[in-house]
């Protein structure tokens, strides 16, 4: 590679890594596996070492990947929360051990521990009381998520006979069982699935509503003492034993070892356990156990020199794709899935895997009868990676999407410009059940106690055919269902009755208009005010609403052009379901056509309260600053958004100026 090509590849890698780092750390929605990301990172490290003339202090190899969200108050860490260097082979691991022993001047002991795949947090205690918890962020500044961490298992709120100051570091994770259950619920509700437990944990911990965090079943493992006053330890392992006695959940399966053979053997053993653990790990950590050795060896600006992370590759296996079957989702989308010859993968038997959509099947040229490579995305969700074309015998058959719905026999259509194939019958039994589940879900009508299993039982017993019939259910009707007694039946009837007051915003999302999510429903409800105005609105009128594009507008008009859907609304009205907006946005409001961005901490409002005020006056609250931004409302500790606004010449207003504007 010549110097020109090297510079081009270094720039390309820096851009790719920054993009995928943002998706992983800040958006909690990765697009590539950890292993693929680590390979890109290693390639960049090698090129930067070979071509030092292209050093850049802003390179992702110099800086920790995350950043602190402005949704939470910033926390400056008293002890930097550094990341770790990675190795990917036994040879690289042994080279690290030899180099570290040599630097220490002796064969030292290491603590070898599983590397939990979660979200790193700091927990601070004063005189035994938990006072603050924060995310790692960029390693120097994180996010204050104290209230959410109070709902995480394994974190004691008070410690007996505690030192004056104690700060520990741990990894918040979502147990696999909780993750699978959460995704099952989200799938039934038609919500986007979490890619893996790590991102589910991160998304759950960074909720503005701590009640949501409490529902997600998060847990933590503590793996380090960051600082302690009034007590000292000679070894890392002693400190962890102390924390365990204090009531913390401390990292399991750790051993203090020395020498290449002992350490690699234990890492292999941890790797063999991966599928049997109740949580995800993506590697093992090897770190000097004696704290004085750590002090001698020191650290770079990003990582300690006395520790390394050994990364396990994702386990992949070959098996036979016996057939492809189709499932029908809530919105009528047909999803192809693979029926596999059972194979043992990451600790479980796998016989089915997602194929995502028809475009994916065609791109990978996957055929019925193929030998295929299978892995678990995020070590959880089985997926077909590729077909093994060299093992074809000639008897393999290309898959074709059915012309009629496998659930109801109605014609299947592919909307122009979409990858999805859809059933055309809104009364399709598969759609009916998923529509009911979605309608009752928390973001929609929030009918507590009406989950997927109860909804399925109601449909199976023919007690309801659509969501309007929920409002005719009596306690006696519900007593025929398994595990329903008088009290549970009474509670569900009350919850159904309470849902009548949810308002137009939730109702529009709940009835399942294609392309209309919670935010779109809120914008439409706020502008038109009542369901009749929405049903009779023209596409052009709806498309005038900021953030509602032509396709979304056309989808709303198309939905209400179907007589069955209009009749459903009339039945809901007859049952007393509220069909007016809780907060109507007046057309021609003083902020109409204006875009605001909020940054920093406001004294008089929460972020959500300020957004509601802006939207009620016809404005739009955006999450990012651009040349199209009209105002940046800057509170205390305003961050990078303020810098960008000043660079672009966007008007910056204080909270006092905002108060004057809304008078």
Q: What is the CATH number of the domain that holds 255?
A: 3.30.470.30
Of the listed ranges 277-281, 290-294, 302-306, 600-604, the least confidently predicted one is 600-604
- Segment (H or E) for 349: strand 348-354
Q: Are 344 and 320 in contact (CB under 8 A)?
A: no
Which CATH number belongs to the domain containing residue 613 in this structure?
3.40.50.10190
Q: Beta 620-622 vs 595-599: how paired, if at all?
A: parallel
Query: What's the whole-number mean pLDDT along residues 598-608?
Result: 82
Do 494 and 550 belong to one domain?
Answer: no
Mean pLDDT, range 473-485, rounded to an integer: 90
- Does the pLDDT at position 473 exceed 70? yes
pLDDT, one tens digit per residue, over 421-471 is: 888 876 787 778 888 988 998 889 999 999 888 998 998 888 998 899 999
Is the pLDDT score of 28 beyond 60? no
Cβ distance 123 to 150 under 8 Å? no
Classify residue 611: in a domain, yes or no: yes
Q: Is 3 exposed, middle or buried (0-12, 13-18, 19+ CB in 10 A)?
A: exposed
Do residue 127 and residue 178 come from a single domain?
A: yes
What local confidence, expressed as pLDDT, does residue 68 receive? Answer: 46
User: Is residue 444 included in any domain, yes or no?
Assistant: yes
Which of 99, 115, 341, 522 is catalytic? The answer is: 115
Lowest mean pLDDT, pick from 14-18, 189-193, 434-438, 551-555: 189-193
Whether residue 90 is contained in a domain is answered as: yes
> Do both 153 and 260 map to the same domain?
yes
- Give the H or E element holding residue 165: strand 165-173
Does 99 or 637 have the greater pLDDT score? 99
Residue-level pLDDT at 65:
52
Residue 3 has pLDDT above 70, yes or no: yes
Which residue did the predictor score with more confidence, 661 or 55?
Answer: 661
Which tokens in the block code for residue 459? 């449909």
Q: Check pLDDT > 70 for residue 69.
A: no
CA distance 597 to 641: 8
Burial of 456 (0-12, 13-18, 19+ CB in 10 A): middle
The pair of three-digit structure tokens given for residue 478, joined into one six-digit string? 């519900």
Cβ-based neighbour number of residue 293 at 10 Å: 20
- Kindly state the percentage of the chain with pLDDT values over 90: 45
- pLDDT tens sequence across 209-254: 788 888 889 999 999 999 999 899 999 999 999 999 999 999 999 9
DSSP string, 206-252: T-SSHHHHHHTT-EEEEEEEEEEES---SBHHHHHHHHHHTT--B-S
Which domain does 532 fall in, by range? 504-574
In sequence order, the 6+-apart residues with CB closer than 8 A to the CB of 140 are 64, 76, 77, 80
Instruction: Please report whether residue 588 resides in a domain.
Output: no
Q: What is the pLDDT of residue 248?
A: 94
**Are 288 and 362 in the same domain?**
no
pLDDT tens-digit profile of 480-493?
A: 988 888 999 999 99
Same domain, 562 and 599: no
Catalytic site includes residue 115: yes
Number of domains in the chain: 6
If asked whether residues 378 and 353 sit together in one domain, one would say yes
- Dist. CA 42–CA 112, nearest whole Å: 22
Express each pLDDT in 564-594 by its tens digit: 889 999 999 999 999 998 776 655 567 877 8
Let me know the angle formed at the C-alpha of 195 by 624 and 374, rounded to the nearest 5 degrees. Answer: 145
**What are the residues whose beta carbons fall under 8 Å from the beta carbon of 237, sequence distance 6 or more?**
111, 254, 256, 289
In CATH, what number is assigned to the domain containing residue 382? 2.40.50.140
Q: What is the pLDDT of residues 393-422, one digit of tens each?
A: 999 999 999 999 998 888 998 866 677 888
Q: Which CATH number do you get for residue 464?
A: 1.10.150.20
| Inter-residue contact 433 to 456 (CB < 8 Å) | yes
Q: What is the mean pLDDT of residues 37-42?
A: 77
Whether 210 and 221 map to the same domain: the answer is yes
**Is there a single domain that holds both residue 360 and residue 509?**
no
Query: What pLDDT is attached to residue 191?
Result: 66
pTM for this structure? 0.54
DSSP class per residue in 313-338: PPPEEEEEEEEEEEEE-TTSBEEEEE
Who has greater pLDDT, 55 or 542? 542
- Distance between CA atoms of 117 and 37, rounded to whole angstroms? 14
Mean pLDDT of 640-646: 81
**pLDDT digits 0-9 by tens, 319-363:** 999 999 998 877 788 989 999 999 887 666 789 998 988 988 999
Mean of all residue pLDDT scores within the chain: 87
**Do 236 and 114 have their domain in common?**
yes
Structure tokens at 195: 């890619």
Same domain, 112 and 243: yes
Euclidean distance between CA atoms 278 and 565, whole angstroms:
44
């Amino acid at each position: 590679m010549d110097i020109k090509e090297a510079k081009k590849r270094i720039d390309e890698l820096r851009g790719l890594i920054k993009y995928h780092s943002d998706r992983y750390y800040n958006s909690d929605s990765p697009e590539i596996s950890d292993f693929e990301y680590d390979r890109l990172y290693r390639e960049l490290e090698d090129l930067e070492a070979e071509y030092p003339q292209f050093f850049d202090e802003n390179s992702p190899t110099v800086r920790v990947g995350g950043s602190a969200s402005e949704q939470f108050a910033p926390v400056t860490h008293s002890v930097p929360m550094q990341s770790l260097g990675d190795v990917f082979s036994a040879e690289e691991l042994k080279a690290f051990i030899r180099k570290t022993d040599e630097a220490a001047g002796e064969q030292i002991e290491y603590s070898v521990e599983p590397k939990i795949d979660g979200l790193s947090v700091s927990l601070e205690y004063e005189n035994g009381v938990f006072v603050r918890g924060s995310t790692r962020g960029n390693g120097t500044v994180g996010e204050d998520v104290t209230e959410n961490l109070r709902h995480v298992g394994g974190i004691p709120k008070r410690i007996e006979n505690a030192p004056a100051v104690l700060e520990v570091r741990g990894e918040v994770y979502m147990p696999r069982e909780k993750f699978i259950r959460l995704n099952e619920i989200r799938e039934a509700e038609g919500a986007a699935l979490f890619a893996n437990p790590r991102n589910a944990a991160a998304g759950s911990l960074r909720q503005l509503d701590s009640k949501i965090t409490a529902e997600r079943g998060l847990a933590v493992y503590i793996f380090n003492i960051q600082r302690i006053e009034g007590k000292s330890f000679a070894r890392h392992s002693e400190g962890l034993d102390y924390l365990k006695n204090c009531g913390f959940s401390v990292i399991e399966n750790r051993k203090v070892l020395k020498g290449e053979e002992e350490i690699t053997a234990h890492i292999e053993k941890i790797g063999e356990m991966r599928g049997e653990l109740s949580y995800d790990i993506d590697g093992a950590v090897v770190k000097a156990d004696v704290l004085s050795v750590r002090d001698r060896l020191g650290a770079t600006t990003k990582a300690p020199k006395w520790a390394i992370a050994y990364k396990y590759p994702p386990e992949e296996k070959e098996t036979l794709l016996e057939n492809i079957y189709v499932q029908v989702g809530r919105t009528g989308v047909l999803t192809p899935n693979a029926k596999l010859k059972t194979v043992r993968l990451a600790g479980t038997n796998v016989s089915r895997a997602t194929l995502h959509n028809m475009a994916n099947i065609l791109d990978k040229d996957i055929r019925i009868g193929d030998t295929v490579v299978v892995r678990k995305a995020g070590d959880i969700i089985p997926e077909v990676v590729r077909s093994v074309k060299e093992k074809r015998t000639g008897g393999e058959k290309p898959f074709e999407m059915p012309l009629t719905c496998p659930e109801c026999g109605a014609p299947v259509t592919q909307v122009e410009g979409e990858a999805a194939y859809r059933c055309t019958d809104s009364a399709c039994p598969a759609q009916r059940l998923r529509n009911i589940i979605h309608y009752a879900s928390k973001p929609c009508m929030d009918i507590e106690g009406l989950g997927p299993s109860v909804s399925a039982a109601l449909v199976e017993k023919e007690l309801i055919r659509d969501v309007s019939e929920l409002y005719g259910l009596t306690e006696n009707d519900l007593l025929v269902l398994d595990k329903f007694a008088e009290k549970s039946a009474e509670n569900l009837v009350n919850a159904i009755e309470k849902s009548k007051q949810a308002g137009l915003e939730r109702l529009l999302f709940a009835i399942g208009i294609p392309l209309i999510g919670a935010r779109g429903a809120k914008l439409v409800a706020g502008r038109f005010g009542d369901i009749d105005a929405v049903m009779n609105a023209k596409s052009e009128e709806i498309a005038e609403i900021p953030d509602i594009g032509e396709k979304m507008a056309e989808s709303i008009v198309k939905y209400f052009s179907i007589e069955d859907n209009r009749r459903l609304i009339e039945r809901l009205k007859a049952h007393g379901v509220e069909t007016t907006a809780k907060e109507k946005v007046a057309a021609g409001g003083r902020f109409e056509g204006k875009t605001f961005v909020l940054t920093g901490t406001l004294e008089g409002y929460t972020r959500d309260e300020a957004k509601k005020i802006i939207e009620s006056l016809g404005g739009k609250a955006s999450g990012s600053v651009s040349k199209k931004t009209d105002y940046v409302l800057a509170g205390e500790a305003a961050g990078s958004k303020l810098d960008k606004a000043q660079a672009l010449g966007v008007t910056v207003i204080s909270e006092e100026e905002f108060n004057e504007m809304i008078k």
